[in-house]
Structure 1
Amino acid sequence: MTQSSTPQPTKVQIRRWRKYMADEVAEGAIYRELAVKRTGQEHQILRGLAEAEERHENYWRAKLGEHARPVRPSLRRTMLRFMARHFGSVFVLALAQRAEGNSPYATDQDAAPQMAADEQVHEEVVRALATAGRTRLSGNFRAAVFGANDGLVSNLALVMGIGATGVASSFVLFSGIAGLLAGALSMAAGEFVSVRSQRELLSASRPTQVTLSAAQNLDLDANELVLIYKARGMNDEDAEHRAAERMGLFTCDCNPSFSLHPEVRSAELEREHEELGSAPGAAMSSFMFFASGAVIPILPYIFGLSGLPAVIVAVVLVGIALLLTGGIVGLLSGASPVKRGMRQLAIGLGAAAVTYCLGLLFGTSVA
């Protein structure tokens, strides 16, 4: 009898498996690099992900056998490893989340079903790790991104609209500088008032410990502690039960959900405060990033260009900036950076095109 042997992989399979193996090596290295920059539970989670990627690497290495020669990983994973080593920021986790979500194992019959399931779990783990970083960035970063995009779009629209009327380049430059300062100051003031007002509203909602300090002096026959607990969402029975405990009439051996614990609510409010960011920080971010965006459309005029060449250069520069800011937002949100970048570009250039057409119409009517 002849013994059955394992079929030899084809050249196409060998190339694909080598790529998978190289990517798994790179992903394991990415998580180990990130783990070095973390402590506690996050460190353990990242190390666990690295060990899982090592198991996947060994799976492909075993299938390749004598063909298991090292190859270069994909460009995306090479860049991720570089960023993890030198930055270790939330951008790396956002990119890693996308990489895990785009795993080809679900449709590749050569991959074990467990590996496809692993990649799905990894995506959710990385998503959870990235959430903390996104939360820290969501306050001031939100103001920065919106400020930069507003500066880019509004000043480009202003410059193109005025430039299309045929006025002198010096007037276009002056208008652009005025638009930059007016918009940046307006954005900063509005963001400061908005964030400060939200923080004050959250602070005003924080429960106090008045139920402890005032309980001993309250009238037993007109126990207004009950009103506090009713206002916090309890029904009549639960409110009276908790008020009696607070006044020392008996020790409550009841469901702890009878009361809305101030310490729990305070922790929730602190997280909301963190997400909002500080009012001065948000205002400064809005001012700086609006100004940095608004200066780009007037750069051609600053360097002496005029007429149609200045307009073309301004559109190109702003288009590149819109693609970058849209791509960054896409990365942080776990969406496609290309799609988000193209969306930003379409919105920005669309608004500028409208004002340019109006400027042409106004210039023609004046002439």
Structure 2
Amino acid sequence: MPQLAPTPTPAQIKRWRQYLADEIAEGAVYRELANNRTGEERLILLGLAEAETRHEEHWRGLLGENAAKTTAPSLRRTMLRFLARHFGSVFVLALAQRAEGNSPYAADTDATRQMAADELVHEEVVRGLATRGRNRLSGNFRAAVFGANDGLVSNLALVMGIGATGVATSMVLFSGIAGLLAGALSMAAGEYVSVRSQRELLDASKPTEVTLAAAPDLDLDANELVLVYKARGMSDEDAAHRAAERMGMYSCDCNPSTSLRSELAEIADTEEHEEIGSAMGAASASFCFFASGAVIPILPFIFGMSGTPAILLSAALVGIALLVTGGVVGLLSGASPTKRGLRQLAIGLGAAAVTYVLGLFFGTSVA
């Protein structure tokens, strides 16, 4: 006589309903993201949504008639779906990556080993999709984050250091404005030179097209042409294959990795240098975000506050901004936004505290 399955406990039913609601929400997130994409990325996201449907069926099967009563998905999944529907950005993929990485299935005996393995694979798939978006924005995003953080910390340190000396409020405000302009211009110029120089360095290192069409007419033998490809890191065999093809000795595609089409693809792939960003884009982002960060510490002084209350409010406003910027970086990198935010806060306020103490010392000395 077949053994009946044990009756699930209320705690199990509650947990399974939550799992089911979250799986439905995750599938919806991937479908919403797929609506904003085309080609390969769309197919990958739809494949993830289909996998979540398999997981849904597992929990429906365990719940049986208890599946009729539904529960709301977790706040994280609800927020993810809202963001996916209205934005569909790399932020959503980064959040989805973190959600997949925190799956409870590995420690839950009611979930199958295949489901736990699926979640690990899903995290890697989402990580790959998120990496594409990170590469597209990493250059200018790096300049934006560094610019905002530097503006917040450097101008707060300047304002607190000057304010601690006991000078007039107008002097503190003037110093803050001067620090904003000087820092923003310096950051923009530095980013422009840095990114421009890096792109020029990569362009100088990129293989030229001289061997693509001109090889049959060059005044050199195949052995010399072999050296060109060996210098690019090819093995002896692959270099000889490529040289013979360029010299017109044969046109077979015996080794596709060394074919003419492969070389053309390599050249096309390196033209954009997406991960670096543009020099003007990085400079503009750095200027704007440094200025937007540097204006926060002087807001209390702009609105007429002075003395210790103005300094304390300035530090509080900067603290909130540091938590936000740190949290954003944490989200995009797939790490804990709380830890990254607290790290930014500790570094920023720590630097400002040092200058404040120095300001008190020199202010007392002058008096």
Is the Cα contact below 8 Å between 2:16 and 2:63 reproduced in 1? yes
* Equivalent position SS for 1:295: helix
1:207 aligns with 2:212: no
> Shift in Å at residue 32 of structure 1?
1.0
Is the Cα contact below 8 Å between 1:100 and 1:123 reproduced in 2? yes
Q: Partner of 1:340 in structure 2?
A: 340
Q: Output the TM-score relative to the length of structure 1.
A: 0.92
Is the Cα contact below 8 Å between 1:212 and 1:246 reproduced in 2? yes
The CA distance in 2 between the partners of 1:313 and 1:362, in whole Å, is 23
Q: Residues 196, 16 of structure 1: CA spacing in aligned structure 2 closer, same or farther, 3 A cutoff? A: same
Q: Partner of 2:50 in structure 1?
A: 51
The CA distance in 2 between the partners of 1:217 and 1:103, in whole Å, is 61
Is the Cα contact below 8 Å between 1:234 and 1:259 reproduced in 2? no
Q: Partner of 2:177 in structure 1?
A: 177
* Equivalent position SS for 2:136: helix
> Shift in Å at residue 204 of structure 1?
1.7
The CA distance in 2 between the partners of 1:234 and 1:211, in whole Å, is 15
**For residues 167-316 of structure 1, what are the structure 2 equivalents within 5 Å?**
167-212=167-212, 214-219=214-219, 224-234=224-234, 242-243=242-243, 245-248=245-248, 250-251=249-250, 255=255, 262-270=263-271, 273-316=273-316
Is the Cα contact below 8 Å between 2:222 and 2:244 reproduced in 1? no
Deviations 1:277-330 (A, max 9, x none): 111111000000000000000000001111111011111110110011001100
Q: Output the TM-score relative to the length of structure 2.
A: 0.92
Question: What is the RMSD computed on CA atoms of the aligned residues?
Answer: 2.3
Q: Residues 31, 212 of structure 1: CA spacing in aligned structure 2 closer, same or farther, 3 A cutoff? A: closer
Is the Cα contact below 8 Å between 2:94 and 2:331 reproduced in 1? yes
Deviations 1:197-256 (A, max 9, x none): 1111122222222225544554457975455334334577875675455344x3276656
Deviations 1:60-118 (A, max 9, x none): 12211222211111111111110011001111110011001000111011111111111
Is the Cα contact below 8 Å between 2:213 and 2:246 reproduced in 1? no
* Equivalent position SS for 1:275: coil
The one-letter code of the counterpart of 1:64 is L
Deviations 1:323-365 (A, max 9, x none): 1100110011010001111110011011001111111111111
Instruction: Give the gaps of 5 or more residues in structure 1.
Output: none
The one-letter code of the counterpart of 2:268 is A
**Runs of 4+ off more than 6 Å:** 235-238
Q: Residues 238, 108 of structure 1: CA spacing in aligned structure 2 closer, same or farther, 3 A cutoff? A: closer
Deviations 1:29-71 (A, max 9, x none): 1111111111112111111111211221221122112222111
Q: Partner of 2:163 in structure 1?
A: 163
Instruction: Give the gaps of 5 or more residues in structure 2.
Output: none
